[in-house]
Structure 1
């Protein structure tokens, strides 16, 4: 078992602090420890980032891009080590972990280039003696708070645009999966980032996040996590009008229409629903299938789900790894039991897998689902696919929108006009049309309603870290 450290002001730190264990959910083994930092350590990281801001933001966009590209190269060179670390600390199958490393590195490449395209404006003046311009400036020190389920990609999707814009960062990873962040920080050191530009603090979420929110030197918070915590951050930001980017909860509907290509739909729903054991913010949670194809879809879908292999993510044959912890496992079991009690039929799965200290649940398909079941109201965050029968397009859209969340939705239809009409009515920031995996570095990622504020990725991803400064120049 290795003792890892945090990274503050160009130095590895926290050796004198108490530690917290990082546990492998596949077997309950402690695989490492990280320092249990708090307010003091967060303050030190903020001071370091603040000192680094002037020099880092003064570099050209091309110079900052060079650091990001070097970090990208190092990530790809160290893909196997990063992937194994990720799998060990949060259970993701190795093939998914490798994919996440490449996905995470793509954000660095994208924003290295996008930082060179932060353009100002010259605006036609209403008076002959004036020249009107808009300048672009980095927002300042950024706090990045990330979740456990995508420990590499959620970091690079945040620090990539921040660093490209000229903003030093303080990273606060989840206590369940901090080791990937440590490995990424090691690569930042190897890439040569100047002192104070990249900082990593581990430990008490409440103390570290509290200091990031309260400290006036932090001008921007970017957070991915639950809507409940997101609302707390909004309230805490009010005193300073601190800028926020929030990617919050989801409850994605998947609409399978009667003109869908069934094989394509089954493949897409499996890919979305069971990625990372259903522990993603955009995975399908509610599957609505039109009555004319309902029975056939359930049969084909269940047959494919039964082929999925559950096991330790280090096994190359594994399709579905463990859930992150006991609370996650118990929530999945509670949702399935509630649905079965209210009349849903377990087509396949429906029970935990008994492995000593392992947090496994069988890939589950449930039919004859109704609106009153908990899993149709709350995000299950597990490998459970509830399938509800619908009659019309209007009913499918109504049920899809019947949630306070609006992150991702999916539509399977081969009719272009029909698909477009349905999507126009969906209140979701991301829609996969005959596509179960819509994420990419070059597109805007974010939600409507209670699923967040702002967008990450794409050219919009830079906007959150840039201020517009209007300059009126008198020349007479």
Structure 2
């Protein structure tokens, strides 16, 4: 297979260790060209495991972003006219190429995001599944013919691509969050500009290199890289430029609200997947072994840095001690801290110092106010400055900050409850409404919980919800819209109603 070599350009540096990464790119991608920032500014991308610089990428600004949007708008004129079959074929080729290069892609994710290599490989399989799914879905974005109330008229409804989509993605799943969005909008006939997270731009650039190999036309996908300093200005252009038809964002609720406000100025479509505060509810009838295994999956995927990660473990008083004891044993046995590239490691570093400080602050506050520390509770400084020990807390009360905040780290917080009514009240006492988990063998109880939990997704006896075929998304302040499933592509379409009249003339 043709593989484009990484580029070393003036002002850019790569360590000798990282030059072996075959899909490593250090330029942005605009209108089918690998480019630098107009200002020539760069910023470093570091490995969170050891803080070593992997490479430097362009630190782009509002002018660069406008150029990328212009390219996407120009490409939309022709891309929207391609047939669904053509779009499907290109997405399928992109899927095939990504799967063939899965090891190289995973290597980049582990280097810039820190997650264990096995988990990075899992992300590539998951992320690529959206390319495969929307390759099929592209040919099934259907309209409808509605029976007319008039004898000489016909009502036709069609779905049309809404235009250029601005995509802003997070650092915790730097490949999958891009493929989940881009494959859907491409299937619908849209084009895009991607602004990947400041910490993890290299996965986006690698994915786009493979998209280029798959035959994605120039301008259909564009990638703008920017540091935290330039991110606000870049985000403003992505939201407010009149050429943009939709803003698709995955990230914190705080940032999502800011972007939503900017989009409102132009009455633009938004697709927002925001923060979660997922309850993990264990009833007395639950299969305890299954509940414990799934608790590990729901909490420690990406070392707790997942929006659907279990945030509050609500356990019935009759099985509380059994659950806490079992979970403590599993954490001690299965949570192995270390660099993601090291064999056997299951929990890598937190992404950056800010994340370490947040987790440390939440745990220290809880312990100072009476929470019982069963396990962990500090930075594993013998390994590095971003490795936080897998932690288990009990006796947490509402006066503690950790009671109400999304933790986004490797900290388990367990609470007791007595009745179904009580646990529903606790679970729903949040403005977040993304994922929730329930463990029970009582079928009626399972149906009641599914009905009453105020969350966009409910997992019954399972700690893993995400799959390509299902609509992923939340309610309340956890977002607007759905990704994956057929609904994921429909997010990027406008409905057009056409009335054919005078058909009897």
How does the TM-score come out when normalised to structure 1? 0.98
How far apart are residue 24 of structure 1 and its match? Answer: 0.7
2:486 matched to which residue of 1?
459
How far apart are residue 194 of structure 1 and its match? Answer: 0.9
Partner residue of 1:13 out of 22, 25, 35: 35
Whole-angstrom CA distance in 1 between matches of 2:252 and 2:81: 35
- Equivalent position SS for 2:85: helix
2:218 matched to which residue of 1?
195
How far apart are residue 209 of structure 1 and its match? Answer: 1.3
Whole-angstrom CA distance in 1 between matches of 2:454 and 2:387: 33
After superposing the two structures, state which structure 1 stretch, 255-264 or 207-216, moved more: 207-216
How far apart are residue 357 of structure 1 and its match? Answer: 4.9
Structure 1 gap segments, 5+ residues each: none
Is the contact between residue 115 and residue 302 of structure 2 (CA under 8 Å) also seen in structure 1? yes
Answer yes or no: is 1:325 the counterpart of 2:352. yes
1:222 matched to which residue of 2?
248
Is the contact between residue 115 and residue 349 of structure 2 (CA under 8 Å) also seen in structure 1? yes
Structure 1 segment 76-475 matched on structure 2, within 5 A: 76-203=99-226, 204-307=230-333, 308-355=335-382, 357-474=384-501, 475=503
Whole-angstrom CA distance in 2 between matches of 1:33 and 1:217: 30
1:65 matched to which residue of 2?
88
Whole-angstrom CA distance in 1 between matches of 2:183 and 2:271: 14
- Equivalent position SS for 1:361: coil
Partner residue of 1:33 out of 34, 56, 65: 56
Is the contact between residue 25 and residue 357 of structure 1 (CA under 8 Å) also seen in structure 2? no
Whole-angstrom CA distance in 1 between matches of 2:352 and 2:158: 48
Whole-angstrom CA distance in 2 between matches of 1:9 and 1:194: 9
Is the contact between residue 37 and residue 64 of structure 2 (CA under 8 Å) also seen in structure 1? no
Whole-angstrom CA distance in 2 between matches of 1:356 and 1:310: 8
How does the TM-score come out when normalised to structure 2? 0.93
2:10 matched to which residue of 1?
none
How far apart are residue 423 of structure 1 and its match? Answer: 2.0
Whole-angstrom CA distance in 2 between matches of 1:316 and 1:141: 42
Whole-angstrom CA distance in 1 between matches of 2:343 and 2:496: 52
How far apart are residue 356 of structure 1 and its match? Answer: 6.4
How far apart are residue 316 of structure 1 and its match? Answer: 2.3
- Equivalent position SS for 1:382: coil
Deviations 1:273-312 (A, max 9, x none): 0111100000001101000010111000100000111100
Give the number of aligned pairs: 476
Deviations 1:205-244 (A, max 9, x none): 1122111111111111100011111111121112210110
- Equivalent position SS for 1:58: coil
Answer yes or no: is 1:4 the counterpart of 2:30. no
Structure 2 gap segments, 5+ residues each: 1-12, 15-24
Whole-angstrom CA distance in 2 between matches of 1:376 and 1:439: 25
Deviations 1:75-109 (A, max 9, x none): 11111111110011011111110000000000011
How far apart are residue 390 of structure 1 and its match? Answer: 0.8
Alignment RMSD: 1.1
- Equivalent position SS for 1:360: coil
Is the contact between residue 27 and residue 356 of structure 1 (CA under 8 Å) also seen in structure 2? no
Is the contact between residue 137 and residue 466 of structure 1 (CA under 8 Å) also seen in structure 2? yes
- Equivalent position SS for 2:318: helix
How far apart are residue 12 of structure 1 and its match? Answer: 0.6
How far apart are residue 15 of structure 1 and its match? Answer: 6.0
- Equivalent position SS for 1:306: helix
How far apart are residue 126 of structure 1 and its match? Answer: 1.1
Whole-angstrom CA distance in 1 between matches of 2:371 and 2:446: 29
Whole-angstrom CA distance in 2 between matches of 1:169 and 1:251: 30
Is the contact between residue 347 and residue 364 of structure 1 (CA under 8 Å) also seen in structure 2? yes
After superposing the two structures, state which structure 1 stretch, 339-348 or 137-146, moved more: 339-348
Whole-angstrom CA distance in 2 between matches of 1:373 and 1:267: 28
- Equivalent position SS for 2:265: coil
- Equivalent position SS for 1:186: helix
Is the contact between residue 37 and residue 59 of structure 2 (CA under 8 Å) also seen in structure 1? no
- Equivalent position SS for 2:408: coil
Is the contact between residue 283 and residue 440 of structure 2 (CA under 8 Å) also seen in structure 1? yes
